[in-house]
């Protein structure tokens, strides 16, 4: 059976399984109704959700605008989480690279030469040790700062999402009724209660 494009708009989204209820709540606030949810074919931790909303819903333009802002805010949460420790990881990697750059020549100088040149090898070991200690002290401090910054950004995005949903709740008409056709599956698809 085909979809009723004259009366409904359709939307399909992929959502992480652990975020499904939160994301569905957001789309419901924007007037969307879940039609079908199934496991994503490619990713085990993802769900594929099909939604629909009456085509002639009141305040549609504003709801579309709020939806775009909500989706950007939600997607930015993932980016914030993924980039939260980028600087501390880069600093640790750089420190380890420099430390090992001193260890190699130091080992060669100690094993290949005697006397003063061998002492240079021990100095290289000492520099590598200083770099290791500096990295062990500064990287956790950087990590805590990054975590605090990321937490602040996440809270800001969650507040933005909440304010968008509150505005949407004022724009979306009351719960759809059976005569609106939302309780029937679209195009022969079953509605899953979740």
Residue 40 has a pLDDT of 82
Average pLDDT of every residue of the chain: 84
- Give the span between the Cα atoms of 140 and 142, in whole angstroms: 5
What's the rounded mean pLDDT across residues 101-109?
Answer: 89
Residue 4 has a pLDDT of 82
Residue 179 has a pLDDT of 44
- Give the span between the Cα atoms of 110 and 130, in whole angstroms: 18
Name the 3-class secondary structure at 185. Answer: coil
Tens digits of per-residue pLDDT, 5-46? Answer: 788 899 999 888 888 898 899 899 999 999 989 988 888 889
Task: List phi, psi (to 5°) of 118.
Answer: -65, -35
Per-residue pLDDT band at 169 (split at 50, 70, 90): confident
Residue 147 has a pLDDT of 93
- The structural domains of the chain, with segments of one domain joined by +, span 1-57+173-194, 58-171
- Please give the model's pTM, rounded to 2 decimal places: 0.67
Tens digits of per-residue pLDDT, 34-85? Answer: 998 998 888 888 998 999 999 888 888 999 999 999 999 988 988 898 888 9
CB distance 35 to 8 below 8 Å: no
Residue 173 has a pLDDT of 75
């Amino acid at each position: 059976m085909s979809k009723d494009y004259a009366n409904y708009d359709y939307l399909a989204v992929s959502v992480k399984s652990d975020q499904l209820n939160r994301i569905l709540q957001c789309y419901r606030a924007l007037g969307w109704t879940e039609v079908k949810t199934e496991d994503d074919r490619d990713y085990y931790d993802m769900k594929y959700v099909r939604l629909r909303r009456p085509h002639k819903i009141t305040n549609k333009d504003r709801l579309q605008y709020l939806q775009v802002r909500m989706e950007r805010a939600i997607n930015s949460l993932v980016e914030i989480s993924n980039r939260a420790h980028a600087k501390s990881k880069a600093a640790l990697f750089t420190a380890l690279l420099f430390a090992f750059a001193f260890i190699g020549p130091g080992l060669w100088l100690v094993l290949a030469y005697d006397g003063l040149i061998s002492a240079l090898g021990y100095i290289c070991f000492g520099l590598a040790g200083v770099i290791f200690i500096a990295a062990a002290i500064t990287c956790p401090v950087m990590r805590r700062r990054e975590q605090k910054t990321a937490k602040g950004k996440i809270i800001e995005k969650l507040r933005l999402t909440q304010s968008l949903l509150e505005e949407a709740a004022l724009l979306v008409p009351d719960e759809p009724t059976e005569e609106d056709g939302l309780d029937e599956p679209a195009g022969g698809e079953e509605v899953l209660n979740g």
